[in-house]
Structure 1
Amino acid sequence: MDKEPKYAIIDCRVSDPQQLKGGSLQDQEAIGRITAERLNATVLKVFRKPHSATTSEREDFQEILDFIKTSKKTISYYIVKSIDRLTRVGYPEYLRLKTELGKLGVSVIDSYGVIQPTKNTLEHLGVSYKWSNHSPSEAGEMLEAYKGKVEVRDILTRLIGAEVRLTQEGFSVRRAPDGLRNKSVMVDGKKKIIREADPERVHYFQKMFELLAEGNGFPKTVEILNAMGFRTQEQKQWDRTDKEHPKVTGRTHHCPIKLQLFDGIVSVDTFNRANGGKIFIQINSENKIEILHDYSSWNKAKRLKDNPKYPWKVIRCPYCNQEMLASASSGKLGKHDGYHCGIKTNTKRAHKYFRVKQKDFEENVNRYFENLKFQEAFMKGLELHLIDEYRAKEKEIVIESSAISRSVSELKAEQAKKLDDFGQAESVITKRMIEKQIESLDEQIKQAESTRNGIEINEKSIKSFIHYAKHVMEHPTEILTTAEDLNARRAIMSLFFEEMPTYHQILNGTPKLQPLFRLSEEFKQSERPLVTLRGVEPRFKP
């Protein structure tokens, strides 16, 4: 009578898709088939997968279990080249995977012969217990499983350790980010990689930081960069649904680090101003870099309920530096509106209660803003200064405008080509597709032209700005109180102050003003007479 046929599966594994290019999988399969012949087993399926054995979450192993469960033929053997091809996590994970296969009646076989069949120590008595069935090679299997884990640790220690050491020395170990590029240099006879500015793309990132540092928002910055012709870098787009044969289907497109022989594309000051304190680089006396988060008080503002009845909640509490609260309290004489803060446990407002009547609070704030008005002589001097600054930056403006003009020309050339394609297309579907592309290009052209018109300033623009500045300074309280919401008031207040002032600073006249207003105050003080007429009070003490 013929013996019942035996069936086996072979599992071939490499750690990542790059290793698929080598011959490792073919070698593992060939060794597995020789092992199957030795067992007189027929190979039903060969699994070839790129998957790291250093993790316990192996999707490919679940696929193998599902195949065994649904197979119409009973599978007896699961063949691997060696135990470390099954797992490199260690013995507990190896035992778990082996047990999962054992529940399905499948024995794990390695080509090196380390794993031996299970033996029953009570076989001579004709009985069997769970504890009497054991693997005589258990110690050897345990050793091999741990050797795999140790080997992983040794490999990663050498690889990652070398990368960390190079990084600490200021060299690059990975692909350069957009705006930079890697450059090979010889250091002590060894080839190493440093970073340098990419001459074809770095100007986009320099301009980005400059725009943000000047106070432009992200939407405006993006608009200008796109108008200048910025496009994301192309990258390979992969289809990894077939893990064995991943393929390229197309192309797509925090902590600062010291770089060897490279000073960066922008200064630390520009970086800090561009990020507005969200991420702040601080260099101490030992020339070491410290990264601070939420450094600027402007970034600590939280969204508060916006009630137009209380427009000055943007002013900060003198005790906790949080934005003031405002409400109407009820008493015997009716409701009393006021600005207040304090007596909230387990919060940043945990301090004594502070309250000011709304009328007094707003009168003091309005009085301070009224005193901030520019004098006519100062405005004339400011206009001359701005024109001088414009002359200094005129070349930069022309270069930026020219870059946008070139981008517009390229877009129009591409649009003209699409129009030719549209005329030659016969398919309705193709015409619709080209028509959408033409519309998209037309929108890009209009956007770029609009941005170019926005940056092309002249002396007339400066005079218009001076006129607007006069309007703002003649009616500061009106503009602030009629702003749409708290965020708009915060933005307008940032024109006046470097840091949002507290109520006591308003009372004492000591807020940290923006440079322009500091100059105005100094201008006023320089014009005050140092000699007074006799009989006119107050008089200066000798």
Structure 2
Amino acid sequence: MNLSIQNKKCVVQCRVSSLKQSSEGESLERQEESLRRFALDRGWAIVPQTKEYPQGKVWGRAISGRKTNRDDFEEVLTFIKENPGLVNYYVFKSIDRFTRAGTGEYDRMKKELLKYGVVMIDTLGVIQPSINTLEELGFEYDWSRFYPSEITENVLATTSKQEVTTILHRMIGQEIRLAQQGYRTRSPSDGYKNEKIFVEGKKKTIQVPNPNRAQFYRAMFDLRARGLTDEECVAQVNAMGFQSPIRNRWNKEHTEIIAKRGGKPLNIKQFQRYIENPIYAGVMCELWTHFKPIKAQYDGLVSIDLWNRANRGKLILKQASDGSFELIKRSSKTGEVRVRNNPLYPFKFLLCPSCSKPFLGSASRGKSGKKFPAYHCSRKHKGIRIPKADFEKAVNAYISNLKFQPDVLNALELVFMNKYRQREKEIVKASGDIHRNIADLEAEQATKLDVLVTTKSAVVREKLEREIEESDKKIKEAQGVRHKIQISRHDIKAFIKDARYVMEHPAELLLNPDDPRSLRDLFGLVFEKMPTYPEIVSGTPKLSLVFELSSGFVPDKNLMVTSRGIEPRLQP
């Protein structure tokens, strides 16, 4: 076959593995220039030729050569099928630019082209024309077609695949080692930015707080740790101006930006993902660490203690004495979903005498099918189970005998005022962030109003009106959140008034099971330390200065906790 014959037509294809390779290594443009010159020197016309490509289209894309189902190759093959007999040659630079998927894939692609009479040509001259060994006899069969360069082609196809394996082993292996040492090996998590440092003369990457984003994540953890609902946390963070990071959307070839994504307010699902991510506590837990938590080589945006409190026991980061970490996930052995604030067991927050952890509440079923509700605990100790009626009877008896010490009210007011001053700084900062966000929204809205007044296009006016309404909605939401977080001295006085009522009528609120979470918080005001059940029964909890126990309180020994054994049970 004489490849210098003119009036032949060819398709031309170039490939790089990634845009980074295109910009830093052998670019698509350089390959295209070389391939066009190659075809021109031989007098071949590059097809297809259109108004957009008068000199002929060159297929070029940043795509991995390891893939066995290549969109770029399929597009060329489709063109060849739709134009039978038009294309004579398929031109590319070298076998490793054609494919890196190995000999099997190379042979498949080659046979696909030969079915339509298209011969592969590489500019390096490795691929040689085939020879019909029965040509002098005037016959040709599949087996009579000899490919002089077949062995060389297969060796290069195999070598190309092995080169990829070697490169990936070296590159990915090093990234895994760096990740297991606590360094960053990919783009930063939102709230951070990547920063290069030198360690023993080698450049490595860590994450540092992003000054434009970190405050949102610190606020998320702080608000949730303070007991706000997820809806309240999300509303306040959005009022501070949170929007998801804006990222580029690329075309299929990854050569052109076609749109932007992001810029959305925080939602509850995404908020919960952020809260559960240990990277914000400076702990890495990912695929390359085998999902085992390790301390990163940089500080987190929040402390581990704050991260644990924000996760409220669902996830716990625990550090061992040797410095290693354990990520504990709370799960149910039975698979049943527990109700965290079950009003049927309102006093679960009282502590077990054996492990000093809150009781659990559930109802076991007897042989007769009847349920027996009880408070219980068996965390790494002998089980304790107290019937619900006895447990709550003891709590009611104790709370009913509490009385208020009026001489501590002034001191209590002073304590609250000091707490107010400590929180005032945090509130001013949060309010300032919200105020700046409102100012930005109002400035943006004013600009759109100016454009709305001057434009005559109905389409543009409609779009601007929608955007102005959306801005107005965001402003009102932010103003509402700012109003909620404001605390004044008048608020403190009102709280003191409510606190006086609580202290003068403790049983009315402390025995109300409607809201177990609020009930736990109120008990926290009554007791200096959350009591154990035996302390409630015996009347020995450590009360805050505000309350004292009535002298008429008599412990009920029938309600005491004892472990079962050979000794007799307590008698009334």
Give me the TM-score of the superposition, normalised by structure 1: 0.72
Task: Show the counterpart of 1:76.
Answer: 88
Say if 1:272 and 1:279, in contact at 8 Å, map to a contact too.
yes
Q: Name the CA distance, whole Å, in 2 between partners of 1:55 and 1:179.
A: 35
Q: Which of 251, 260, 266 in structure 2 is aligned with 1:240? A: 251
| 1:83 shift after superposition | 0.9
Task: Show the counterpart of 1:269.
Answer: 305
Q: Which of 384, 396, 400 in structure 2 is aligned with 1:370? A: 396
Q: Which amino acid aligns with 2:404?
A: A
Say if 2:194 and 2:207, in contact at 8 Å, map to a contact too.
yes
Task: Show the counterpart of 1:521.
Answer: 541
* 1:206-263 deviation line (CA, Å, top 9, x unaligned): 121111112222221111112223334444x33415x274136557545533443x32
| Alignment of structure 1 residues 20-419 onto 2, 5 Å | 20-21=22-23, 24-33=27-36, 35-36=38-39, 41-45=44-48, 46-71=58-83, 73-120=85-132, 130-235=142-247, 237-241=248-252, 243=253, 245-247=255-257, 249=259, 252-253=262-263, 256-257=283-284, 258-260=295-297, 262-292=298-328, 294-295=329-330, 302=337, 311=344, 324=362, 338-339=371-372, 363-364=389-390, 366-367=392-393, 369-371=395-397, 373=399, 375-377=402-404, 383-384=412-413, 385-419=415-449
Task: Show the counterpart of 1:537.
Answer: none
Q: Name the CA distance, whole Å, in 2 between partners of 1:395 and 1:387.
A: 13
Q: Which runs of 5+ in 1 are unaligned?
A: 342-355, 484-488, 499-505, 514-518, 534-542
Say if 1:229 and 1:404, in contact at 8 Å, map to a contact too.
yes
SS at match of 2:121: strand
Q: 1:245 to 1:495 in 2, by over 3 A?
A: same
Q: Which amino acid aligns with 1:201?
A: R
Task: Show the counterpart of 2:467.
Answer: 437
Q: 1:300 to 1:200 in 2, by over 3 A?
A: farther
| 1:445 shift after superposition | 2.3
Q: Name the CA distance, whole Å, in 2 between partners of 1:443 and 1:33.
A: 57
Task: Show the counterpart of 1:474.
Answer: 508
SS at match of 1:211: helix
Q: Name the CA distance, whole Å, in 1 between partners of 2:11 and 2:334.
A: 60
SS at match of 1:96: helix
Identity %: 32
| 1:142 shift after superposition | 1.6
Is 1:509 paired with 2:533? yes
* 1:283-335 deviation line (CA, Å, top 9, x unaligned): 1111122333x23779976279xxx9x9559989x9xx997468999x8xxxx
SS at match of 1:399: helix
| 1:54 shift after superposition | 1.7
Say if 1:314 and 1:324, in contact at 8 Å, map to a contact too.
no
Q: 1:215 to 1:472 in 2, by over 3 A?
A: farther
| 1:168 shift after superposition | 4.2
Q: Name the CA distance, whole Å, in 2 between partners of 1:496 and 1:532.
A: 21
Q: Which amino acid aligns with 2:469?
A: E
SS at match of 2:249: strand
Q: Name the CA distance, whole Å, in 2 between partners of 1:95 and 1:234.
A: 44
Q: Which runs of 5+ in 2 are unaligned?
A: 49-57, 264-276, 285-294, 353-358, 375-384, 525-530, 555-572
Q: 1:125 to 1:496 in 2, by over 3 A?
A: farther
Range moving further from structure 2, 174-183 or 84-93: 174-183
SS at match of 2:399: coil
* 1:131-179 deviation line (CA, Å, top 9, x unaligned): 5545332221121011111222232233334434444444444433332
| 1:528 shift after superposition | 6.9
Superposition RMSD in Å: 4.7
Q: Which of 428, 448, 452 in structure 1 is aligned with 2:482? A: 452
| 1:113 shift after superposition | 2.5
Is 1:11 paired with 2:38? no
